[in-house]
Every structure is written in C-alpha cells, then in structure tokens.
Amino acid sequence: MFDSIHEECGVFGIYTDKTSDVAAQTYVALYALQHRGQESCGIVVNDDGVFRQHKNLGLVNQVFDKDTLERLGQGNIAIGHVRYSTTGNCNAANAQPLVVRHVKGPLAIAHNGNLTNARELREKYENKGMIFHTTNDTEAISYAVTEERLSSPSIEAAVEKTMDKIKGAYSLVIMSPSKLIAVRDPNGFRPLSLGKIDGGYVVSSETCAFDSIGAEFIRDIKPGEIVIIDKNGLRSVESHCGGKGTICVFEYVYFARPDSVIEGSSVHKARLRAGKYLWREHPVDADIVIGVPDSGLDAALGFSQESGIPYGIGFIKNRYIGRTFIQPTQKERTNSVKIKLNAVSNTVKGKRVVMIDDSIVRGTTSARIVRLLRDAGAKEVHVRISSPPFVGPCYFGTDIDSKDKLIACRMTNEEICRHLGADSLGYLSVESVKKLAGNSDCDFCVGCFNEKYPIEVPKEMPKDKFEYRISENK
C-alpha cells in the first residue's frame, strides 16, 4: 500500500538444557521481530529429535493461537521466522522455517538476506534431479547444506563447506536433531546477535527480541562466524571470519527497531544523529519539526535538538492496518495515506513545518503526505530525508530490484521537490549516513546510495527470479 522500502526477514533460535515451552518463547520473540516481516511466519520445535512445525501467511498473532502453540508442544530447541518476500512471491509455500528430511536426520532452516548466486545454485540442483517446492533462496541453501552433510562428520562441518558455495547476504538459524547453529555471511550484511537465557542460549536478528523474553545480550555474531550450541555448550567456527563487516546501513535508518543495539550501536541514537546531521547539512527557518511515523520520529527529534526548532507530533498513525489492507476502489487507493496517517492540524496550522522521513522511493506517498500537511493548514513544508537518494538496486535483502522505480534516477533534486509539492528538500549525504553508527567497528554497505557494492553483484536480480510465464524466455 505504501511507497516505502520494506523490511526483509527476522530470525530467532533458542536452545535450552532441558525440555521447556520453547514454542511460547519463540512466539514472543517473533512478536518483537514483527516489524522485519509481515507476510508470513513460522516456528519449528525440536523435541528430542522430533520436529513439529507450524507456519502460514499472516502476522504472528494471526498464524499462532493458544491451541496452535500447545500442539507444537514442549522441546529444548526451536527456531522461528517472520518474512517479507524480497525473493519469491508471497504464498504459503514460501513461509519459513523450511524443514527438510534426509538420511542423517531432519534439518530446519530460517534465513534473512538474499543470495546473489541463488539462480546458479538452483539450476545446479535442478539438473541433479532435486525438486524445489518454493521460490525463495532458502531452499537452495538447504539443498547445499544437505549435500555437504552426506559426506561431512557434523552439521557444522557441512555448513562450513556450504559457505564456500553461497554468495551474498545470509544470516541463518539452523536446527539439527541435537544442535542450534547460527551463521552470518562473511560481509555481515544482515545483523545477528547472541544472547543467554536461563539454562541456554538464544540468537536473533535483533536484540529487542532478547528483551521481550528476558534474555541477556552477549554479543553480535561476527561476520563469517558459525556458532554451534548443543549439550556441550557454545563454541564457534571462524574459518570464514577475518574481513571487516559491511552491514547494511539502512538497518540504522529504517529496518531495525529503535530499542535494538546492532554492532555495538544503539539504533535510536543513530537516528538522532541522522537528524542532527540533516540540520547541519540542510538548515532552514521553520517553526516546528515533525517526523513521519515511525522511523522518522527519532530523526526529527535529533533535528529539533540540534536546530533548537521545537519538536511536535505532526501525524497520528493508525496502528490497526497491516500491509494486507485491501483498498477496493480507486478513490480508496488515492486516499490510502489518510487511512494510515492523519495530520494533527493543531500542530501544523499556519506554521513553517520541517517534515522528516526516512526515505523517498517512488515519491508517490511522500507527495501525499506533504498534501496532508498542506490540507491541515501548514504554511510551508520543508522535507528532510534521513538517508541519501536511492540510485541503485539492492542485492542483499531489500526489495529494491529496479532503478526505473526510483524517483532519484529520473528526476533532479529540484524536480523531486516540485513533485512532492514541498518548499525545499534535503537528503542526508552518503558521508554522513556512514557515521550514524558511532560505536560500530565495521564498514557499511551503501550500494543503493552510490552503486558501489562490497562484493560483485549480478547484472539483474528480479524479485520473482524463479517464476516465469510460459511465454517468457529464461
């Protein structure tokens, strides 16, 4: 419904030293990660090597209820996943975690990221006679791990060999009959954290999930690291470590929850810095600073603190409308922004307003939001964006698959400003966005802002790369 960058996915895993209600704990953790994926979700519970699973389309509270959680039962290991489809269309078959069964036992896998060589891997395994039931990257990873497991002494050895085959972004949570394994790609494109809970360990895309279940954050999993948790405790394999990570900087701008800590940096503080840098780069005379909920709010506060311009609540967000909200008529589609956002007239009427948002993709929604402020009586509207303009596609787990959809590739800054109906427009610079995570000892992927990617990327990678009409030529 909205012209914005979508989250990728969220993964979670828990290992305990005794049988317990790991399904319920995973359920609560997925609630905390709901912002990372709102199309589907799933949980797999391991009860002494017996896997029970449930997954479907929908939000966490739609897919799971008390009866479903009770059917999943007790266990000592569980993994969970919330999904937004950056690869593969939205259907129940693509919901994760995936469970595969082979001669050495069952395997469950959940994935956040995007492989750059997924098409080649899939063709390789299809030519070997393997049958694919999904159109996502994760199934190709599961086949790669299974193939290596047949000749490897352990699941972690198989995963280590698999990392030589797969390229791109992957934060994985894998469950074998007796182990929980967490894996992060050598570039560390997507976050993955390790925590401790009574009697065991947890891993998650974000630390906010630890807070929700009373777990203690230990550290970020290193780029290239394989963490193994079993009855003997915790250990890791670092044969693919050594390089400096290049995490997606948009985790700090938009994807992650403000209360999460990624690579040692508070997401909330990173967004405050974005607002402060925006003021330094694009100052303006104004009466009030407001943010577009939710990720624009912290940046607006930072802009206000740095500039001295008062901060105000400019929009009220309807939190009961999900991404699947249906707009039956053209009139309702045109008014879709009003359904989710409404301007607070008392805040903006007769005032020169600075409106802070996290990004502009196509520009359609941004123009409608500016119109909301005009209709509410704003005298001037100055748009400030807490990220640089999008000028390139993302190959690592964000749903930007074509330059022709990006307004910054078609218009100049002045033309975009007129298109939005704003009085002025300012984007955060690439140099400043790299400085948002002040405490992080890593580099950042900013390829979508400057088309300079940390690794080699394919010439094209459409979202539906595994689905073709009969009339289409591969």
Report pLDDT for 329. Answer: 54
Under the banding of pLDDT at 50, 70 and 90, the label for residue 326 is: very low
- Helix (H) or strand (E) run with residue 205 in it: none
The helix/strand/coil state of 290 is strand
Report pLDDT for 459. Answer: 76
In this predicted structure, the answer to whether residue 276 has a pLDDT above a threshold of 80 is yes
Under 8 Å between Cβ of 449 and 400: no
Cβ contacts of residue 31 below 8 Å, gap of 6+? Answer: 60, 61, 212
Using CA of residue 115, residue 120, residue 124, residue 127, what is the dihedral sign? positive
Chain position carrying tokens 């490897």: 152
Report pLDDT for 184. Answer: 98
Task: Please provide the DSSP assignment of 135-188 as one string.
Answer: SSHHHHHHHHHHHHHTTSSSHHHHHHHHTTT--EEEEEEEE-SS-EEEEE-TT-
Q: Specify the higher pLDDT residue, 42 or 405.
A: 42
What are 304-314's pLDDT values in tens digits?
999 999 999 99
Q: Which residues pair with 454 in a beta bridge?
A: none
What are 200-229's pLDDT values in tens digits?
999 999 999 999 999 999 999 999 999 999
Cβ contacts of residue 66 below 8 Å, gap of 6+? Answer: none
Q: Is the pTM of this model over 0.75?
A: yes
Chain position carrying tokens 């993302």: 394
Buried/exposed 55-89: b ≥16 CB within 10 Å, e otherwise: bebbbbeebbeeeebeebebbbbbbbbbbbbbbbe
Q: For residue 273, how far is the Cα from the chain centroid?
A: 21
Report pLDDT for 463. Answer: 53
The whole-chain average pLDDT of the chain stands at 91
What are 379-421's pLDDT values in tens digits?
999 999 999 999 999 999 887 767 888 999 999 999 999 999 9
- Helix (H) or strand (E) run with residue 347 in it: helix 345-348
In total, the chain counts a number of residues equal to 474
CATH second-level architecture of 265-438?
3-Layer(aba) Sandwich (3.40)
> Quick one: which of 219, 225, 220, 105 has its CA closest to 159?
225
Q: What is the CATH number of domain 9-243?
A: 3.60.20.10
Report pLDDT for 131. Answer: 87
Kindly state the DSSP code that residue 255 receives in the 8-state scheme: I
| Amino acid present at 385 | I
Report pLDDT for 474. Answer: 44
Under the banding of pLDDT at 50, 70 and 90, the label for residue 330 is: very low
Report pLDDT for 89. Answer: 58
Span 46-53, average pLDDT? 96
Cβ contacts of residue 471 below 8 Å, gap of 6+? Answer: none
Report pLDDT for 176. Answer: 97
Under the banding of pLDDT at 50, 70 and 90, the label for residue 93 is: confident
What are 128-183's pLDDT values in tens digits?
998 899 888 999 999 999 999 999 999 999 999 999 999 999 999 999 999 999 99
**Of 9, 41, 394, 417, which residue is the catalytic one?**
9
What are 417-461's pLDDT values in tens digits?
999 999 999 999 999 999 999 889 899 999 999 999 999 998 765
Report pLDDT for 399. Answer: 75
In this predicted structure, the answer to whether residue 4 has a pLDDT above a threshold of 80 is no
**pLDDT over 70, % of the chain:** 90
Under the banding of pLDDT at 50, 70 and 90, the label for residue 43 is: very high
Q: Which residues pair with 262 in a beta bridge?
A: 265
Same fold, 9-243 and 265-438: no
Report pLDDT for 466. Answer: 52
**pLDDT over 90, % of the chain:** 80
Span 326-332, average pLDDT? 50
| Neighbouring C-beta atoms of residue 410, cutoff 10 Å | 14
Domain-by-domain residue ranges, the chain? 9-243, 265-438
d(CA 244, CA 443): 7
Q: Specify the higher pLDDT residue, 358 or 327.
A: 358
d(CA 416, CA 393): 19
Structure tokens at 297: 């709010």
For residue 9, indicate whether it is catalytic: yes
The helix/strand/coil state of 269 is helix
Kindly state the DSSP code that residue 132 receives in the 8-state scheme: -
d(CA 231, CA 379): 65
Strands (E), 337-445: 341-343, 352-357, 380-385, 424-427, 443-445
Give backbone dihedrals phi and psi of 217, rounded to 5 degrees, phi first: -65, 130
